[in-house]
Structures are given as C-alpha cells and as structure tokens.
Structure 1
Amino acid sequence: MSDFKQQLPQMNYFKEEDILHLLISEEPESASIEISPNVTAELNAAGELIGVEILNASNYIRDFILESVQGKLLNLVRSEVL
C-alpha cells in the first residue's frame, strides 16, 4: 500500500455534524479564536493560522454565496446605470 498524503490546504466536510474544516498546516493547535458566530480560527504556538472550523456550514456557505452574488449583481446594476 502506498503512503498517500494529501496536500495542504485540505478541506473536510462532516455531514452529520454540518462542520466544514479547512486545514492549512498539520502543526498542533495551541489556541483558537472565535472570528464570528460559528467560525473559529485555529492557531499554532506562534499564533499563526493553521485551520478554520465552520459550524452550521451549509447555512453559512449558502448565506455567504448569496451575499456575494447579490453584492456583485448590485455593482453590475450600478455600473450599467452610470
């Protein structure tokens, strides 16, 4: 069996828990900071970002995409009016 190692960053979705985890580094987590409700930044001992965890990920991603698309559409409409 070959030693397959995924490249970083690595994203994993845990469907039953609805958690999205982005792994940037495999260093041990020393601390975490809540960036916003349901979003936590994971830090190494030097305070560098090594991961991000998003709870209720399906709602968070849906809302993020909707806001992004609505903002871009609004900018397009504004540029056509000017």
Structure 2
Amino acid sequence: MNTLPEIGVGIKNSPFYGAFYENAITESRRFPEFYRAAAEKHGCIFFNAAEYIYPSEVDSLHLTPEGHSVLAEKLCEVIKNV
C-alpha cells in the first residue's frame, strides 16, 4: 500500500485550484498516518511515497516524469524485498 504525494503549496496558482477545500494542503500531509493504519489493520505493506516524490511545480498535484521514475525505482526496491 502506498500513499500519495502531498498537495503542493502552489495549488493556489494551479488550474486545479478550487477543486479542493482550503485545508487540502494540510490534510494531504496526514495521508501517511491513515494509510499506515489501514495497511497495519489489513496486514499490508506500507510504502510512504511522499518520502520520495513531490508534486510538480506546474500544478502542485501530479508527478513529473522524473517523479514517476523515482516512484517506480523505490517501489521496485520494496517489491524485491517482499
């Protein structure tokens, strides 16, 4: 199980601004807490992607191509150790 990257502070200047509540940036930082609890409850592996990837500066939400590469590499490391 993995989490998502945090919503970037630049979301206020993003085309996606308005699609989220004002507290979305702060709340997105809590994703790992909830995903970790769900993973433990269901006996799943927890992978905190937010430790390795960040939203793009373009929209403060989606990953860059480089971010996708980093995510793939880190997930591959986890999978190899399962």
TM-score (norm 2): 0.29
TM-score (norm 1): 0.29
More strand by share: 1
More helix by share: 2
The structure having more radius of gyration, on CA atoms, is 1
Which structure has more relative contact order (CA 8 Å, sep 6+)? It is 2
